[in-house]
Structure formats: C-alpha cells, structure tokens
Amino acid sequence: MPTQPELLTPSKTVSNSLQHSARLWLPKRVLFTPDALQEPFGQQIYERVSALDLPIEILKNNRLTGLRGKDDRETYRIAKNTLAVVKAPPSSLRLQPVPPSADWQMNLAEGCPAHCQYCYLAGSLQGPPVTRVFANLPQLLANTASYEQPGKVTTFEVSCYTDVIGIEHLTGSLAECIRYFGSRPDAHLRFVSKYDQVESLLDLPHNGRTRARLSLNAESIARRMEGGTASVEARLQALRKLALPRPLGGGGYPVGVVLAPIMPIPNWREHYTELLDRLADALDFDCDLTVEFITHRFTPGSKTVLQEWYPNTRLEMEEAGRAEKRNKFGGLKYVYRPDDMKELRTFFYTEWRRRFPDAPILYWT
C-alpha cells in the first residue's frame, strides 16, 4: 500500500452527487432536569446549547413530560425533535457486558437523532424515542476504573444506545470520553457512528486508546433506510480523516468498520463489492483497521415498533423466511436461515481478506 497518502481524495468510484455531510441535528426542544443542572458537565452542555440559540426548558422536577402526541406518529415526531439532559440513574453505574462488541457497555446517552428504518433501539428503550444525554458523565467515566483489570486491556463501548457523533456538537460528551480513556493505560474506548463531523476529534489526546468506527452499508440501503445520516462517501472520508497520521492532518486513530446490517438485497454481491472497493480506495495507506459484520435481525417487539414509526417502510421483516434464534433468557429474534448466513459469511470473509489481509475480522453475527 502507498505510505504517503493525500489527506482527502474522494473515492474514484462514486459521483460527488452522492457525497453529503449529515445535517447537524438541532432539536426543537432542549429539556434540562434540575438534577442535570446541578452537575458541572450539565452546565457545560447548557452553555453549548445556549450558544446555538436553541429553545431551552428547565423542568420543575426530574421527570420528562410532554413527549406524547395524539398517536404513535406524532409521539415519534415530538420525541425525535427533543434533547433531554438528565442525570443518569444509579443503575447506570452497574455496567453490563456486551460481547462480542466490547467487555462493557457504558452509555453517555440513550436515544439517537437519526431515522434508520431498521433502528436497533426499537423495542430496546422504553417510552418515546427522545434522546437523553447524561449530565453526570464524569461520574460514569470514573466508575469504569472499577471494571478495569490490571495487566489486561478492558474495552468499553459507548455507542450501544446512541450515535455519539450525531450529538457531539450539542454535548461534547465523546471528547470527554476520549480524553479520559487516553489517560487510562489498561482501558480502551470504542464508538461507532453514521455521522461524519469528526474534525473536533482529530487533535484530542487519545493515545491510541480509542477505536473510532464508522457504520457502513451498501449505497442503496444507506440512501433508502438511514435518514438523517451522512452519505456513505462522507462516512468513508470521515474514516480516512480519523485514520490518517497526524503529520498528514488526520487523527491517527485506530479505526474500524461496522458493516451493518448486512442484507441480501437484489444483486447484493455487486452492491457490497462496490462498497468494499470504495473502502479500499479511502484507506489506501497502512492503518490499524478492524471490521465487524452484523446481519439484519429483528424481534417481534422491534417489528411492531418499527412499523409504527415507519408505516411505509420497505424493510423486509417476514418471519416465514427467517430462522428463529433465542438468547439465554428465552428472548426470540429472527435471523437469516443457516444456508443464507453461510453464503453471506463466505462472501464477506473472502472479499474482506482479499482487500485487507492484515485487518482482523472481529466477529460475524
């Protein structure tokens, strides 16, 4: 591979008309609970939001109200236009393991400003899909030290319930996390995003302890099902910026690709071949790269919620064409059938290793 890349060279295989940054999310309502405003970090978020001249409401108590409309669609619209700054409850200090993504899940927020028709949060979070940001983030970060194991790197995932770059301009939470983990020799941070506003992250002292990942998918899936996010090309260029060495204007981060959710759409081999070719164009230099392959799946609960949120969706969710899979608690999800999974896995493993022989495949699910 070339060792002296240019800073920004958009992939040669895509038209510039397909490249667009994600529009910054500017919520129509920003709610602060009294507890949140007592936190110094909550005050910092207040200053950020005030500087953007967004409408702020300070609640009389720590309960969120006024998020429901006359029907599911109106409730969705209200919630998706609301940012709530709250104090994370004590239960947030009891971290949950999240293999294979990371050792532990540490949430800096819950809820996401994007409009993905396959949303992973549907059925996972209770109530209207408002974005809740945690004002006691420094406390949550300090708590992670008790989960570290001396002499062993412990990984913490902060993107399970939100898109951290999608809200970063409002909160500064991701930068706070990167700085913290940059000072912890036995702990690493992991995040993933569909947004491309990464410039504020490039000069942070991550010390190689944050793996910055971008979620990618075939062009037709991203354009049709990932509303409000950056285009695939913009994400590829954001990944390039994050991975480039600092002398070349990049962030020098270890990086990763989360290819998800993989779907066997018509002509899927051609669509995903194009995506992998464009990724190889964007990362045409030596870098610390990993990949995670995640196929589409859904639960009975998530299907119901998604059909309420997106009644005109063309997302395939037919149980008859799927295999059932149960977790250790008996929860049911529908995944692709074994023969289909084998065909998909063989393709992606072969094509990935052909282009990126030194970049580990972390898992397939």
Q: Which pLDDT does position 11 carry in this prediction?
A: 42
Mean pLDDT of 21-35: 97
Question: Is it the case that residue 4 has pLDDT exceeding 70?
Answer: no
Percent of the chain with pLDDT over 70: 95
Output the six-digit token pair for 250.
Answer: 């990049």
Mean pLDDT of 71-90: 95
Better-scored residue on pLDDT, 57 or 66: 57
Q: Which pLDDT does position 16 carry in this prediction?
A: 52
Nearest to 35 by CA among 113, 130, 132, 111: 132
Question: Is it the case that residue 9 has pLDDT exceeding 80?
Answer: no
Q: Which of 4-18, 98-112, 281-295, 327-341 has the lowest mean pLDDT?
A: 4-18
Query: What is the three-class DSSP state of 35?
Result: helix
Q: Roughly what angle, to the nearest 10 degrees, separates helices 232-243 and 268-282? A: 30
Percent of the chain with pLDDT over 90: 89
Mean pLDDT for all residues in the chain: 94
User: CA–CA separation, 64 vs 85, rounded Å?
Assistant: 10
* pLDDT tier for residue 25 given thresholds of 50, 70 and 90: very high
Mean pLDDT of 231-260: 98
Residue type at 303 in one-letter notation: K
Q: What angle do CA 212, 216, 220 make, to 5 degrees?
A: 160
Q: Which pLDDT does position 61 carry in this prediction?
A: 95
DSSP string, 38-59: TSHHHHHHHHHHHHTT--EEE-
Mean pLDDT of 9-37: 79
* pLDDT tier for residue 2 given thresholds of 50, 70 and 90: very low
Question: Is it the case that residue 295 has pLDDT exceeding 50?
Answer: yes
What's the pTM value of the predicted model, to 2 decimals?
0.93
* pLDDT tier for residue 327 given thresholds of 50, 70 and 90: confident
**Each residue's pLDDT tens digit, 190-241:** 999 999 999 999 999 999 999 999 999 999 999 999 999 999 999 999 999 9
**How distant, in Å, are the alpha carbons of 176, 184, 301, 358 from that of 142?**
12, 11, 35, 34
* pLDDT tier for residue 328 given thresholds of 50, 70 and 90: confident
Q: Which pLDDT does position 65 carry in this prediction?
A: 86
* pLDDT tier for residue 329 given thresholds of 50, 70 and 90: confident
Q: Which pLDDT does position 123 carry in this prediction?
A: 79
**Each residue's pLDDT tens digit, 151-203:** 899 999 999 999 999 999 999 999 999 999 999 999 999 999 999 999 999 99
124 φ, ψ (degrees, to nearest 5): -95, -40
